[in-house]
Structure 1
Amino acid sequence: MTKFNFTRRAVMGFIAAAGIAAPAAAEVDFTGKTIEWVIPFSETGGSAKWANFFGPLLSEALPGKPTVVVKFMPGAGSTKGANWFQEQEHEDGTLLFGTSGSTQFPYLLGDPRVRYEYNDWNPVMASGTGGVAYLNAEDGAKFDGSANALKDTDFIYGSQGATRLDLVPLLAWQMLGMNVEPVFGIKGRGDGRLMFERGEANIDYQTSSGYLGGSTALVNDGKAIPMMTWGALDADGNIVRDPTFPDIATFKEVCQATDGCETSGDAWDAWKAFFVAGFPVQKLAFLPAGTPQDVIDTYTKAFQDVVARADFAEISSKRVGKYPVFTGEGAQGALGTATQVPDSAKAYVTDWLQNAYGVSLK
């Protein structure tokens, strides 16, 4: 059994666990209260769209129907907000925090700016996502399912940082032999899309919610051409087409069609390891350290009630995509998958970051 197959089976197990009924919650009442859901990114990105989708549904499901307000704390690729949340403690159950792969990856790589510990927090919901890379109209006209005709083009990409979730597209483009120059320092993927819209970048990638919420309009207007998704995992750990974007080829397919790109070996294994850590369980919602079990159970039941809504599959597919949502034991198990990668993958990516971008994490 490979590590990747084990990881996929673990994820599938979490999907099953997500359906386990939560313990009966004690009498927790949020009547008249306001829940602050803090997102450590800008208000234009996929995490914002994710929280803004779930927020009103959570409000309806929590006892007392409190107001759920999404607040943003961008900075340092989300480590600023995560470091802040690490210092918070339970008061009255009205603080929720959301993370994404761009928060997980610095933690996995030992980024010196990380002063947070995932194991101190209480996960109450986790969800998977996908990602779509796309080109401007001029360069997209050259794309034939391979990157062969794109290798002489100089691309500009708005990036949150090479140690964030952006390492998945950056490594993929390098494996394809493309010359993509990242402009580091943007506060969220939505800011990268705005760079693309203004013509300051000619290649971009968005997680599924960001792509559905902002980039599809660019595609429909002929201003952007989809290049590839990162794909999804089947039951055997194989990369397959993303169920939200079944008509768009995966990176694996584009790699196989591109001269010099290999879907085996150290680079592929490292890319796949970080894809697994960053996308099948990509966004998580946490309560702070010290939260009593009755409050945790109340949130768990609320999120389970959200997922059990008769219209959830339909409305979620349009806003955040067709991906599993984990609650209760499933959320706790999903956290383990999201915060673990093989040492060999870490070593490869650490060396790549140093060689490609001069980023030292040793």
Structure 2
Amino acid sequence: MKKHLKLLCASTLIFGSLLTTAAKAETADIPSTINWTIPFGVGGGTDVWARFIAPYLTKYIPTHPTVVIKNQPGGGSITGTNLFYKRARSDGSDILGTSASTLFPFMLGDKRVRYNFDKWMPLMASPTGGVVYVQPNLGVKSAADIDKLNGVTLPFGSQGPTRLELPVLMAFEMLGLDVKPVFGMKSRGAGRLAFERGEAKIDFQTTSAYINSVEDLVKNHKAIPLFSLGVMNEDGKIVRDPAFPNLPTFQEVYFQKYGKKPSGNEYTAYSKFLAAGFAFQKVIFIPANTPSDIIHAYQKGIKEMLKDPQFIKDSIVQIGPYKNIVGVNVAQHLQEATKISPELYAWVAKWLKQKFDYSL
């Protein structure tokens, strides 16, 4: 009897030890506060996206840590991202939110870039779309009137020629619009404010910022939407954005204006940067040398978050009806999307120099 009691006690201790180990693995020494660096100003698409997601991260990451948004704008996201690369702690207390403005300079070998995506682990990628719109005093009521913009100078608040607006600037040129970018905006939110002040005649916002900050302008007749960039379906074809099904895509507007489909080097470059920058428009990164149990806990929490009916419902309203990418697929697809051939790089470098006197 005593022998059986000893075995029972030993089994209980072992089982209890296993439960304790499992519990530790579940909580994984997660810090009480997670600082989420957003290398853009308040009010832009990435900031809106992060502030929507942050409470859900708190809800679903074990121990329910407080997620604090840290805006660090500058250099079209390069400044804050460089700082994160240099200073981020690998204990789970630091994560980063990026945008196409962070991907494009890396793809193009911008000399100011000090970060390397190989040093980070992507936890989630959010695709997005975007909309181009103009001032209502230009006499344009929709994309059907785009010819009325011929010869009209259109100031445009931009972060820079290699930032989020890169494919948009290419679209403007292919449509023959006389767009005059004013570079140096700290975020797309700053570009929108320039539009609201009347300083810019044309603007572009990603889906989340458009839904939250521009749709009211449209309702109040202070902005006229022209077209969306569309989204890429599983076959790699650009189709209408489900968030804006009534808006034509850039390709549709191009065909309307010229009677043919867009083609050539510029369209090839446009398509490449659209795919890279918008299919992976928003990405959550964590230092790759963060303990694997913490990374696993964050990944598990994000997967649970994406199943939350309330999150699904709210995300459609807040950031658009897009499917987030998680797990191994994020790293694999991101690596493929950001590859750029030497030939395409050479063409883009020449285009940037001729168009904006910008040297890579």
TM-score if structure 2 supplies the norm length? Answer: 0.90
SS in 1 for 2:345: helix
Whole-Å separation in 1 of the counterparts to 2:59 and 2:242: 28
Q: Is the 8 A contact 2:28 2:297 kept in 1?
A: no
Whole-Å separation in 1 of the counterparts to 2:82 and 2:306: 30
Whole-Å separation in 1 of the counterparts to 2:139 and 2:45: 23
Unaligned runs of 5+ in 2: 1-22
Whole-Å separation in 2 of the counterparts to 1:348 and 1:238: 23
* 1:52-111 CA-partner distances (Å, limit 9, x unpaired): 011000000011111111110001111111111111353431111010000000001111
1:87 alignment counterpart: 86
Q: Which has the higher contact order (CA 8 A, sep 6+)?
A: 1
Superposition deviation, residue 28 in structure 1:
2.5
1:247 alignment counterpart: 246
Q: Classify 1:112/1:241 alpha carbon distance in 2 versus 1 (closer, same or farther; 3 Å).
A: same
Superposition deviation, residue 50 in structure 1:
0.6
SS in 2 for 1:97: strand
1:247 partner letter = N
Q: Classify 1:352/1:222 alpha carbon distance in 2 versus 1 (closer, same or farther; 3 Å).
A: same
Superposition deviation, residue 241 in structure 1:
0.2
Alignment of 1:1-362 (within 5 A): 26-28=25-27, 33-139=32-138, 141=140, 143-145=142-144, 147-259=146-258, 262-361=261-360
Q: Is the 8 A contact 1:176 1:261 kept in 2?
A: no
Whole-Å separation in 1 of the counterparts to 2:118 and 2:139: 43
TM-score if structure 1 supplies the norm length? Answer: 0.89
1:310 partner letter = P
Superposition deviation, residue 323 in structure 1:
1.1
Whole-Å separation in 2 of the counterparts to 1:200 and 1:58: 38
2:172 partner letter = W
1:14 alignment counterpart: none
Q: Is the 8 A contact 1:155 1:203 kept in 2?
A: yes
* 1:114-167 CA-partner distances (Å, limit 9, x unpaired): 111011111111110011100111225264426322111110000000011111
Unaligned runs of 5+ in 1: 1-23
Q: Is the 8 A contact 2:57 2:302 kept in 1?
A: yes
Superposition deviation, residue 283 in structure 1:
0.8
Whole-Å separation in 2 of the counterparts to 1:215 and 1:346: 34
Aligned-residue RMSD, C-alpha: 1.9
Q: Classify 1:193/1:158 alpha carbon distance in 2 versus 1 (closer, same or farther; 3 Å).
A: same
- The higher radius of gyration belongs to 2
Bigger CA drift: 325-334 or 168-177? 325-334
Q: Is the 8 A contact 1:140 1:225 kept in 2?
A: no
2:76 partner letter = G
Q: Classify 1:80/1:29 alpha carbon distance in 2 versus 1 (closer, same or farther; 3 Å).
A: same
Q: Classify 1:25/1:127 alpha carbon distance in 2 versus 1 (closer, same or farther; 3 Å).
A: farther
Whole-Å separation in 2 of the counterparts to 1:25 and 1:332: 27
Aligned length: 339
Please state which structure has a larger fraction of its residues in helix.
Answer: 2
2:14 alignment counterpart: none
Q: Is the 8 A contact 1:106 1:163 kept in 2?
A: yes
Give the share of equivalent positions with the same residue, in percent: 43
SS in 2 for 1:235: coil
